[in-house]
């Protein structure tokens, strides 16, 4: 029996509720977070990459699959490919008039993502949270929040193995009397903090809560505030990092500061 992937599940939910913007956003989030296999015309050479593009009357599409065996089934032969995150592939294609042909002919999640949607997704993923300073007078239990946001946070935090020890969702009251919510990370790695803040921002965006605001903070485990967070907050345990594995090569696009070059 063919395994149902997270992308299949998100696509089915989107198809079942075509007028549900939240379901559509969750599909795009899964597309961005998934490892995808990009079909190439030739083997990768250095930092050069050559997607196998096909033309339709309205647009040009690159071919991606969320499993290697799906790519092999579609191609019917051995073909070169690059394994990249959906967000990396989206960033590569954005602004070039190239869409994505996802799992075509081989899965229930087969879909054509038009170039305009690729550009929108890349722009959404590139947004960075604003950095502000605010003194918090009190932590409280979080108010009732949409289940879609809690689910999105749980999914995002499951991808942050080793970046922090725990996270707590709490209500806050600032010294100015403003009430809000804070996702507080405890024992977060210093260099991982921007990525953690961005992940929380994406969870909020893809939950469909356009007007929602969720602050992010970072605390040392010995900080007196950490005890208040544990007392009042909804706790998320972040996964432990996997044991290191020997890496034979670095896939193009895996370094966000050095995106692959399209030919």
Residue 94 located in a structural domain: yes
Claim to verify: residue 47 and residue 95 sit in the same structural domain = yes
Claim to verify: residue 174 and residue 85 sit in the same structural domain = no
Claim to verify: residue 111 and residue 151 sit in the same structural domain = no
Residues 215 and 213: their CA atoms lie apart, in Å, by 7
Helices (H), the chain: 6-16, 21-33, 68-75, 86-93, 115-126, 147-157, 193-206, 224-232
Residue 243 located in a structural domain: no
Claim to verify: residue 167 and residue 83 sit in the same structural domain = no
pTM reported for the whole predicted model = 0.79
Give the dihedral of Cα atoms 219, 221, 223, 229; nearest 10 deg.
70
> Domain count of the chain?
2
Residues 71 and 53: their CA atoms lie apart, in Å, by 14
Pair of tokens at residue 222: 């010995």
Q: Is the separation of the CB atoms in 226 and 148 below 8 Å?
A: no
Claim to verify: residue 12 and residue 117 sit in the same structural domain = yes
Residue 178 located in a structural domain: yes
Claim to verify: residue 117 and residue 22 sit in the same structural domain = yes
Pair of tokens at residue 230: 């544990």
Residue 240 located in a structural domain: no
How far lies 6's CA from each of 9, 29, 56, 113, 152, in Å? Answer: 5, 11, 28, 17, 13
Say which CATH number the domain at 188 has: 3.30.300
Per-residue pLDDT of the chain (263 residues; tens, 9 = 90+): 468 999 999 999 999 999 998 899 999 999 999 999 999 999 888 778 899 999 998 899 999 999 999 999 999 999 999 999 999 999 999 999 999 999 999 999 999 999 999 999 999 998 877 776 778 899 999 988 888 888 889 989 998 888 999 999 999 998 888 888 999 999 999 999 999 999 998 988 888 765 567 899 999 999 989 999 999 999 998 888 765 555 444 454 555 555 555 55
Claim to verify: residue 17 and residue 112 sit in the same structural domain = yes
Strand, coil or helix: 190: helix
Task: Please provide residue 56's backbone torsions phi and psi, each rounded to the nearest 5 degrees.
Answer: -120, 165
Claim to verify: residue 118 and residue 142 sit in the same structural domain = no
Claim to verify: residue 121 and residue 141 sit in the same structural domain = no
Domain around 120: 6-126+249-262
Give the dihedral of Cα atoms 130, 131, 134, 138; nearest 10 deg.
80
């Amino acid at each position: 029996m063919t395994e149902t992937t997270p992308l299949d599940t998100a696509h089915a939910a989107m198809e079942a509720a075509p007028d549900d913007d939240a379901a559509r956003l969750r599909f795009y989030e899964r597309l961005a977070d998934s490892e995808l296999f990009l079909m190439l015309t030739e083997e990768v050479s250095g930092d050069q990459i050559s997607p196998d593009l096909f033309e339709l009357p309205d647009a040009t599409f690159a071919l991606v699959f969320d499993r290697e065996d799906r790519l092999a089934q579609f191609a019917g032969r051995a073909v070169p490919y690059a394994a990249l995150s959906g967000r990396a592939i989206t960033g590569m294609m954005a602004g070039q008039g190239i869409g994505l042909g996802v799992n075509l002919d081989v899965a229930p999640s087969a879909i054509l993502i038009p170039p305009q949607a690729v550009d929108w997704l890349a722009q959404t993923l590139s947004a960075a949270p604003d950095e502000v300073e605010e003194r918090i007078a009190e932590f409280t239990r979080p108010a009732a929040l949409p289940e879609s946001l809690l689910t999105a946070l749980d999914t995002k935090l499951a991808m942050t193995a080793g970046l922090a020890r725990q996270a707590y969702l709490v209500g806050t009251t600032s010294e100015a009397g403003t009430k809000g919510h804070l996702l507080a990370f405890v024992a977060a790695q210093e260099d991982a903090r921007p990525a953690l803040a961005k992940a929380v921002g994406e969870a909020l965006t893809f939950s469909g809560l356009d007007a929602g605001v969720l602050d992010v903070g970072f605390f040392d485990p010995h900080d007196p505030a950490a005890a208040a967070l544990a007392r009042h907050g909804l706790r998320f345990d972040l996964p432990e990092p996997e044991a290191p594995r020997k890496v034979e090569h670095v896939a193009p696009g895996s370094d966000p500061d050095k995106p692959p070059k399209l030919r």
